[in-house]
Structure 1
């Protein structure tokens, strides 16, 4: 039985992954921002922590809440979508909401959980997107693209700090969730099962890569 930490599990991919890992008999610690989201995950069998990943003061207490744990897989799933096109300047409130959730939360959480995952020989994965790639840039979802590109850099840079940790980014595909919408081409179940296969097969050589749910790998650097 592995211990899975899912940061951002109240809905969408985070909740679906929580349920899937519990279904395989694993122990899951899941975080949610709102108290009213705790009961549903607890009913599934998860251990639930209340944590606002967009708030550094809230994230600062993560390490002591996990004190003594050895974590096999840690997933940073939390994220905010902003679909505003390029050329329309975001307000400070929009910028802060997206960047705090999509980037700052990961950068605050990683130093706290990395030693626990490294001790277990495990994997830390941040949920990114192919929309983060410069080669595929267009005018859509300007701020969201910027945030995921920044997240990729946070992953790549942190590989140097924890050389013994399998640290990577994941692309779940455009998935049929509340964020992705019903018109998305990837069914939620397909994304979840693909991500779990990718994580089960992740090796140290995958460090600093963006792994898609279908197994495709894109390296962030060549060294």
Structure 2
């Protein structure tokens, strides 16, 4: 049995990660930002549901004491929101803060609190990213704020890896998935995507530290 922490688990991919890890017999700790999310996770059998809003720096700052004494074999930062618009107009301050706080600042706050616990287990810390964050893969400026946030997240992961050598940090592209964010037209279901990512996490090697990977573990070029 492994200790698994899922940050941002109240819906979508995070909820599916929780469901699959609980079904596999692992001890799951998860975060949700509201009562409805907590109830969904508790109904799955998640052992410890923590109330954390990753978009709120004061809320994320409490992770360390909530997890005091834990060793985490697998941590996954799933929390993320979409940012729309194109380069034809700038994002508003509120929209910029909403997307960057959730997708980037939340992860950067979580790393120094959670990565030492992952190091204690010589485990893995994954961050759900997107191929839309590949600079060389930019085919247009649609969802440009979201693209910028995921490019920043990839850099945060690659940089942080150097400070936590006993852990394996990776960014993962889950594919285009049928979630609230991905839409019904997406070709992948959440169970399919999560099952592939779980398999990839289980077989990570030291050579993959700091990398940006597809859900099947193949490299996803960051440029």
Fold in common (TM above 0.5): yes
TM-score by length of 2: 0.96
Q: Is it true that 1:210 corresponds to 2:212 in the alignment?
A: yes
Structure 1 partner of 2:79: 78
TM-score by length of 1: 0.96
Structure 2 partner of 1:113: 114
Report the Cα offset of residue 219 of structure 1. 5.7
Q: Is it true that 1:195 corresponds to 2:197 in the alignment?
A: yes
Report the Cα offset of residue 86 of structure 1. 2.3
Looking at structure 1, the residues matched to 90 and 220 of structure 2 have their Cα atoms a distance apart, in angstroms, of 30
Structure 2 partner of 1:50: 51
| Aligned residue-pair number | 221
Q: Is it true that 1:136 corresponds to 2:140 in the alignment?
A: no
Per-residue deviation, residues 146-196 of structure 1 (Å, max 9, x unmatched) = 000000110111112112220110110110011100001222221011001
**5 Å matches for 1:1-223?**
1-46=1-46, 47-137=48-138, 138-218=140-220
Q: Is the 8 A contact 2:6 2:30 kept in 1?
A: yes
Report the Cα offset of residue 35 of structure 1. 2.0
Looking at structure 2, the residues matched to 18 and 41 of structure 1 have their Cα atoms a distance apart, in angstroms, of 7
Looking at structure 1, the residues matched to 145 and 124 of structure 2 have their Cα atoms a distance apart, in angstroms, of 28
Q: Is the 8 A contact 1:173 1:186 kept in 2?
A: yes
Q: Is the 8 A contact 2:134 2:222 kept in 1?
A: no
Q: Is the 8 A contact 1:198 1:211 kept in 2?
A: no
Per-residue deviation, residues 60-81 of structure 1 (Å, max 9, x unmatched) = 1101100101100000000010
Per-residue deviation, residues 120-158 of structure 1 (Å, max 9, x unmatched) = 010011111100001111221100000000001101111
Looking at structure 2, the residues matched to 145 and 220 of structure 1 have their Cα atoms a distance apart, in angstroms, of 12
Unmatched segments (≥5 aa) in structure 2? none
Q: Is the 8 A contact 1:208 1:220 kept in 2?
A: no
Provide the aligned C-alpha RMSD in A.
Answer: 1.2
Unmatched segments (≥5 aa) in structure 1? none
Looking at structure 2, the residues matched to 4 and 126 of structure 1 have their Cα atoms a distance apart, in angstroms, of 14
Looking at structure 2, the residues matched to 192 and 218 of structure 1 have their Cα atoms a distance apart, in angstroms, of 17
Looking at structure 2, the residues matched to 15 and 189 of structure 1 have their Cα atoms a distance apart, in angstroms, of 10
Report the Cα offset of residue 220 of structure 1. 5.4
